[in-house]
A = this chain, B = another copy of it.
Amino acid sequence: MVNVSEKQSTLRMARAKGFVKISAEALTAIRSHRIAKGNPLEAARIAGILAAKNTPQLIPLCHPLGLTHLDVQCHILEQGIEVEASATVEGKTGVEMEALTAVSVAALTIYDMCKAVDRNMVISDIRLVEKAGGRSGHYLREE
């Protein structure tokens, strides 16, 4: 792991997004609560939050961080579900991996909950959209 021992502890934030492409039929099943395994959005939220806290065990060179905030939101759009996560920490290194991991695992959870009704889903556009608080300044992705 990169040595961050001498870096300053500052308030750092990161926000990431991703998208699960889902068939119209499966989206209707989700909206009308007909997914047999339960509510995919709620399961995805919980799974994403847990995964964010587990980031240093999943991503080998990530530093352990004491997250002070983590939020996952899922929005049903026309062609699928958009997942967004934001993470905050007071620490010596950034939290983009925590936000990206939350998005990825939330998306996988949606996939798992819905795969009985749609076996052609695709997870894409997992990306950092904003980052603040580190030495490299404020990052805002152009979209």
Contacts and interface: CB of A to CB of B under 8 A. Distances in A.
Given A42-B39, A53-B57, A70 B124 contact: no
Contacts of A63: 66-68
Interface string A25-53: 00000000000111100110111011101
A80 interface: no
A45 B38 contact: yes
Copies, count: 6
Given A104-B104, A112-B62, A49 B126 contact: no
Contact of A97 (B5, B37, B64, B112): B112
**A interface, how many residues as a size bin?**
35 or more
Contacts of A11: 5
B65 A66 contact: yes
Interface of A: 1-5, 7, 11, 18, 36-39, 42-43, 45-47, 49-51, 53-54, 56-71, 88-92, 96-97, 100-101, 104-105, 107-109, 111-113, 115, 119-128, 131, 139, 141
